[in-house]
């Protein structure tokens, strides 16, 4: 049966500027794919990321190049060979999972032999600002089980300590987004330990991974930009102790499951993260999140307006979308 394919750019203004070491976001620009077949619809969303050479236009072009094949019935296995890991493949992979669940009346969680998604603890993010403003932001979410602190090279110690004072009981992830070097990472070890930080995420640029060889840290170091797919794992050994799995890096849930299983087998601790986007981008990641030690899926909470029946924050817990939102 011939499918109908829709590909479009959607923009979601944010409730507040989202500041990381690479710059400031005021809106989330995403690509939405919709696949219709026999009255059923599958949806998938991705976030093109400039760090990986992507743009909304380039992602749409990649998807349009496969239009005829997708409409003729391309499946997820063929998709893995036809598109590289990245945002384009993620959007289409998610739409195919959703369509399969709808056509076959078998939810994605059941296809994966896992229980249905349930509320879980997700990191809430404190963006880069002055130590005082970061402390104020942390105080508003002090009861959260997990807080992520965005950092650059300026005032890192003061910012970490300010957030810790404002949120004395929360677990902390520190995320410099590749802005540090090995000397700064080494110099900040005492404050990281004193502030009881649980995880340091991608402190060095990915191209400087070798600087981590032989570096001993009591705080686990997590690969983000350095880890996209399962084939990346061998070169991470001896450098990182954890990996951050993001669907926009793996190119979708299909490869993300491979990465999860392989990372576990090789002894890496697991984090599941996201870009800033809507609940349609987060819903597939929730299928992985229950398997992770660290979850960072607060992207939709930064939007002024998300889709109805999407994820929500209740009592400090991230609540999955309503049944039928995505994945059956």
- Active-site annotation, residues: 150, 246
HSE value, Cβ hemisphere, 13 Å, CA-based, for 155 = 14
**Cα gap 224→55, rounded to integer Å:** 19
* 134: Cβ contacts below 8 Å, ≥ 6 apart: 126, 127, 128, 149, 159, 162, 163, 166
Three-state SS annotation for 116-179 = CCCCECCCEEECCCCHHHHHHHHHHCCCCCEEEEECCCCCHHHHHHHHHHHCCCCEEEEECCCC
The residue assigned the tokens 């959260």 is 144
Q: How far, in Å, are 58, 93, 191, 251, 269 from residue 82 at the CA level? A: 15, 12, 46, 11, 30
| Among candidate residues 271, 267, 264, the one with its CA nearest the CA of residue 249 | 271
**Cα gap 200→212, rounded to integer Å:** 13
Phi-psi region at 271: left, alpha or beta (left = phi > 0; alpha = psi -120 to 50): beta
- φ and ψ of 108, to 5 deg: -55, -40
């Amino acid at each position: 049966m011939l499918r109908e394919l829709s590909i479009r750019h959607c923009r979601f203004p944010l409730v507040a500027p989202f500041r990381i070491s690479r710059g400031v976001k005021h809106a989330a620009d995403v690509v939405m794919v919709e696949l219709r077949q026999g009255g059923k619809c599958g949806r998938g969303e991705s976030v093109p990321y400039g760090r990986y050479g992507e743009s909304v236009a380039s992602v749409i072009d990649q998807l349009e190049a496969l239009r005829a094949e997708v409409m003729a019935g391309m499946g997820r296995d063929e998709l893995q060979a036809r598109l590289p890991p990245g945002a384009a493949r993620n959007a289409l992979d998610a739409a195919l999972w959703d369509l399969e669940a709808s056509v076959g009346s078998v939810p994605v969680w059941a296809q994966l032999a896992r229980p249905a998604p349930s509320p879980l603890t997700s990191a809430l993010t404190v963006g880069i600002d002055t130590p005082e403003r970061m402390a104020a932001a942390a105080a508003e979410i002090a009861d959260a089980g997990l807080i992520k602190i965005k950092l650059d090279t300026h005032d890192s110690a003061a910012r970490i300590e300010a957030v810790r004072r404002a949120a004395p009981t929360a677990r902390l992830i520190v995320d410099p987004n590749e802005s540090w070097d090995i000397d700064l990472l080494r110099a900040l070890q005492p404050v990281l330990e004193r502030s009881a930080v649980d995880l340091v995420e991608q402190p060095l640029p990915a191209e400087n991974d070798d600087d981590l060889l032989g570096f001993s840290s009591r705080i686990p170091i997590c690969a983000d930009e350095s880890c996209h797919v399962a084939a990346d794992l061998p070169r991470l050994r001896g450098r990182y102790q954890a990996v951050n799995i993001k669907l926009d890096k793996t190119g979708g849930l299909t490869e993300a499951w491979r990465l999860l299983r392989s990372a576990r087998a090789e002894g890496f601790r697991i984090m599941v993260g996201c870009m800033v986007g809507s609940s349609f981008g987060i819903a597939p990641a929730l299928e992985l999140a229950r398997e992770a030690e660290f979850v960072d899926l607060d992207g939709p909470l930064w939007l002024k307006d998300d889709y109805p029946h999407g994820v929500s924050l209740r009592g400090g817990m991230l609540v999955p979308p309503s049944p039928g939102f995505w994945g059956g």
